[in-house]
A and B are shown apart, each in its own frame.
Chain A
Amino acid sequence: MWEDIKDWASDFFVTGDPLIYGADVGIVLASLSVLFVLTYFKKWGWFWREWVTTVDHKKIGIMYIIASLLMLFRGGVDALLMRTQLVMPEMEFLKPEHYNEIFTTHGVIMILFMAMPLMFGLFNISVPLQIGARDVAFPVLNSLSFWLFFMGAMLFNLSFVIGGSPNSGWLAYPPLSEKMFNPGVGQDFYIWGIQISGIGSLMTGINFIVTILKMRAPGMKLMKMPMFTWSVLGSCLTIILAFPVLTVTLALLFIDRFLGAHFFTLDGGGNPMMYINLIWMWGHPEVYIVVLPAFGIFSDVVSTFAKKKLFGYSSMVIAIMSISVVSFLTWAHHFFTMGSGASVNAFFAISTMVIAIPTGVKVFNWLFTMYKGRISFQAPMLWTMGFIPCFVVGGLTGVMLSVAPADFQFHNSYFLIAHFHQVLIGGVVFGYFAGFYYWWPKMFGFKLDEKLGRWAFWLWNIGFYVCFMPQYVVGLMGMTRRYSTYSWDTGWFGLNLVSTIGGFIMGIGFLVQVWQILYSIKKMDKDTTGDPWDGRTLEWSIQSPAPLYNFATDPVVKDVDDWWEEKQRIKAGGKPTPKPALQPIHMPKNSAMPIIKSTFWFLAGFGFVFDWMWLALPAMAGVAITMLFYSFRYDTDYYIPVDEIRKTEAAAGRAV
């Protein structure tokens, strides 16, 4: 009996690696300390009411951001483990099987569980505020999206300690990811982790499209929206067209693995290349899904910190929307080497290059916004200035990669790795950091320390170039991605050593950011104005942090950058636009449905991973019952009385 349990446990838990035992201890200690703190300070009720069941977009946004920073930490540790393994030839720090797991989880976590939630966090924080809305269109759905993402991410991360991590690359190309070559449960953790959070992403896409189209303040025509809101619209339209492709593709892969079908298998008429086509039909638009909002952030930041109207507003809108359309026509550039022939390759090469045009236009827009402005270089602008050169060089190498006949020499080499890290770190991460620093005072009501922020910025920037510039060269020398080790006679040692040093410099940059947040919490430099950057858009017209109902009265919009224009009018001696009388505000009630339903999804996913139908089927029934039960709940809203609004506004020092 005891032996049986021991056997089962050694199979079930990942064993035999001191790194993982260390992580086990860490996870248990961290969970216990969270439980202890909540119990000791009697915070369970608060935690449940204020966070777990909340439907407030601002709190959901904060939860997204916290989760994504944790994931950034995990993905970053993965990256540093890889760089340590590659620091010199013939390293034996990680076994090949571990190396394969680590690059797989690094990719999945960074794109799906770091970039996506950080992006959704910023959507949640600022879109309703920018368009003068009280919440998103479907607040409970919004909470469900978050909890599905969270449970998906937890399920995926669980594979680290239970069952074993996936190891066939971040896009899990078959036939390698099929049962024939990959019989373990890691690949199923991958499928279910992504599927569950993917449903959440799709719903967020729908939610924000409806929010932007239907809930803008009176007077805010589409062409008067802040540029970030435009980019969110572009990104969400791309999400709702691309994510179903991902869901179907992974479902087919699961059917292959679970029921022995032959969609993508080597034998039985399966076609692995079909999977590769399908996954990139999602995967390429996905890149633009995450980068478009970063472009939006830069646009808002540049015009705010240059104190100048955004140059070429309509050019910018056209550029954003055309990128989200053309992004669907480029997927085959990820496998020019498949041998599809010169005509197919030429088509996809050109469609890829075409994207460089609107992207280049955007850069010009930002530059001419700076031109004849009055630029101050606080944290958000600093990250924007770090972004521009980084992204321009990344764009240059992107154009090089798009030239199909030359791509035969770049494909799957470190040249490619350097390129996409340059656009994803230089574009997406720097962009989200800019947004994070920009909206931080609005989220929490105090400012982050500028000096530490500068340290973090320079460490990240220098670290980035030191890490990735050598990778371009080592890629051209013939180093291909995913090699777990290389020999001395390759001549790649020096460049890899430099690259690893750069990776660790970025790691220190991250630690400085953590320190910056802790230090700033202690210092508590309050933002009493609600408008710390002399902003232009509606979110800066209210107090920081924004009250539960966002706007005491509905703002009426006349111009692009309405809040800036209002301030100019007042400066010129005009009167503030009169506000209507207060009225009770209609708000959504908290709901426990999202966390319950997501927990059922988590259990179902876990059941499917281990083929435990006794768990999976009841849990799926649980999902259905929660959904049904919630459909019959009519007590979903309430009104905030005028007195309470008046009290809140007065406490923030605002006349109403």
Chain B
Amino acid sequence: MKSRGWRRFVAALPLLAIALLMSGCSTDMGVLEPKGIVAKEQFDLIMITIVLSIIITVPVLSMAFYFAWKYRASNKDNVEYKPNWSHSTKIESWMWGVPILIIVVLGVITVIYSFKLEPSKALAAEAKDGVKPVTIEVTSLDWKWLFTYPEEGIATVNYVRFPEDVPVEFKLTSDAPMNSFWIPQLGGQIYTMSGMAMELNLMASEVGQYQGRGANFSGEHFGKMEFTAEATSQADFDSWVADIKQSSPALTEQGYDELAEPGVVETNDTYSSFPDGLFDRIVSKYGSSHNHSAAAEGESSSEETSSEGGTNK
């Protein structure tokens, strides 16, 4: 079959593209270039899965091409033809048995890793002794990310910084349609949903800037929901905090409301303070079901008027 040359050519194209890309050494390879403890574990797990899957896919692919070649009607060699052969207990036990076995192994590995890499599990045990975790609250807005540091008392937009080798506890919520918080080089993502605080624990093992993204579509300018995550030394982090404390403006209630309006923010703004309990208020604003607090009622009535206004387009 003349297909082989083509197939090689096709397979080579993406590799060529990767080679081109890798030549610029600054390219961020995301998941393939883990820089955090969680991402490393996930990378290992991905490799295990690939190896296990290859045990079955490579023989299958070879058989497919070999059988197609050998038993082609135009084959002049006198190959065997058994039109009525359609059952073999031996072959059928193998073809059920091997996949079952592989899935059992993979299943066990998956269960172990599911508990090991549960995003809400704290990473304190993995850190050096005496290192205190940093807590960062993340709120996804239309279409920007707000980071608030409850202990340091500062806030940032579309930029988040934390010390290396220190566990970071992200608490996540949303004051807009749900999104997903993802820093590929540090570890997997988790949804940001309104009315609840999700948890994600990550830890960077190297100083560096990492691309962060919103990964769940949230409306018009979703494409602008990128952010930068930067891991620095503890000293750099401390002086950065002190600097913001000194020179940045405060985020007021009104300032937050303006920030929460749908729109795109091009600069990485920083704030020396933010209203007390802002994050908890955002979470409880949408509360759990049948919440009769004043805030929730005010919110729902304003939504009703807007929906009535919107019906007659």
Contacts and interface: CB of A to CB of B under 8 A. Distances in A.
B110 A495 contact: no
B81 A268 contact: no
B303 A480 contact: no
Interface stretch (B129-137, B216-224, B242-250, B252-260): B216-224
With most chain A CB atoms within 10 A of its CB, the pick from B61, B81, B115, B223 is B223
A373 interface: yes
A357 B103 contact: yes
Given A405-B114, A469-B13, A372 B46 contact: no
A631 B42 CA distance: 61
A372 B82 contact: yes
Contact of B60 (A100, A315, A363): A363
B86 A311 contact: yes
A344 to B, nearest CB: 9
B289 A484 contact: no
B117 interface: yes
Contact of B107 (A180, A338, A353): A353
A26 interface: no
A183 B95 contact: no
Interface string B101-121: 001001101110111111110
Contact of B18 (A354, A377, A458, A473): A473
Give the secondary structure class of A's interface: helix
Nearest to A387: B64
B108 to A, nearest CB: 9
Interface residues on A, range: 35 or more
B251 interface: no
A553 B306 CA distance: 66
B239 interface: no
Interface string B175-191: 00110101011011111
B64 to A, nearest CB: 5
Contacts, number: 349
Contacts of A532: none
Nearest to B313: A185
B61 A389 contact: yes
Contacts of A478: 28, 30-31, 182, 184-185, 211, 213
B31 A176 contact: no
A482 B83 contact: no
A174 B21 CA distance: 38
A405 B188 contact: yes
A272 interface: yes
A337 B82 contact: no
Interface string A326-355: 000000000101110111011001100110
A462 B10 CA distance: 7
Interface stretch (A63-71, A392-400, A438-446, A592-600): A392-400
B67 A367 contact: yes
Nearest to A367: B63
Nearest to B41: A405
Contact of A100 (B74, B191, B220, B308): B220
Given A267-B299, A338-B191, A477-B184, A308 B83 contact: yes
A372 B71 contact: yes
B103 A364 contact: no
Nearest to B289: A269
Contact of B300 (A268, A357, A365, A466): A268
Given A392-B57, A408-B190, A476-B32, A337 B180 contact: yes
Interface stretch (A288-296, A409-417, A509-517): A409-417
Contacts of A265: 303
Q: Which of B21, B85, B215 gathers the greatest number of chain A CB atoms within 10 Å?
A: B215
B226 to A, nearest CB: 8
Contact of B20 (A184, A269, A482, A494): A494
Q: How large is the interface on B (under 10, 10 to 19, 20 to 34, 35 or more residues)?
A: 35 or more
Given A360-B99, A412-B180, A498-B14, A180 B306 contact: yes
B180 A367 contact: no
B311 interface: yes
B191 A465 contact: no
Interface string B67-97: 1100111100001111111111001100110
B110 A403 contact: yes
A519 B199 CA distance: 61
Given A337-B190, A477-B31, A357 B99 contact: yes
Contacts of B291: 269
Interface in A459-503: 462, 465-466, 469-470, 472-473, 476-478, 480-487, 490-491, 494-495, 497-498
Nearest to B298: A267
A483 B86 contact: no
A573 B11 CA distance: 51
Interface in B271-313: 286, 288-291, 296, 299-300, 303-304, 306-313
A374 interface: yes
Contacts of B199: 339
B191 A339 contact: yes
B127 interface: no
B234 interface: no
A129 B85 CA distance: 26
A370 interface: yes
4 tightest A-B contacts by CB? A408-B188, A183-B310, A478-B30, A491-B27
Interface of A: 11, 96-97, 99-100, 163, 167-169, 173-176, 179-181, 183-185, 257-258, 260, 262, 265-269, 271-273, 306-313, 315, 335, 337-339, 341-343, 345-346, 349-350, 353-354, 356-357, 360-361, 363-365, 367-377, 385, 388-389, 392-393, 395-396, 399-400, 402-413, 458, 462, 465-466, 469-470, 472-473, 476-478, 480-487, 490-491, 494-495, 497-498, 610-611
Interface of B: 6, 10-11, 13-14, 17-18, 20-21, 24, 26-32, 39, 41-43, 45-46, 49-50, 53-54, 56-57, 60-61, 63-65, 67-68, 71-74, 79-88, 91-92, 95-96, 99-100, 103, 106-107, 109-111, 113-120, 177-178, 180, 182, 184-185, 187-191, 193-195, 198-199, 211, 213-223, 226, 286, 288-291, 296, 299-300, 303-304, 306-313
Given A337-B189, A349-B114, A405-B41, 16 more contacts: A308-B83, A308-B84, A342-B114, A349-B107, A357-B96, A367-B67, A369-B86, A373-B71, A375-B73, A392-B60, A400-B50, A408-B117, A411-B188, A484-B223, A490-B211, A491-B26
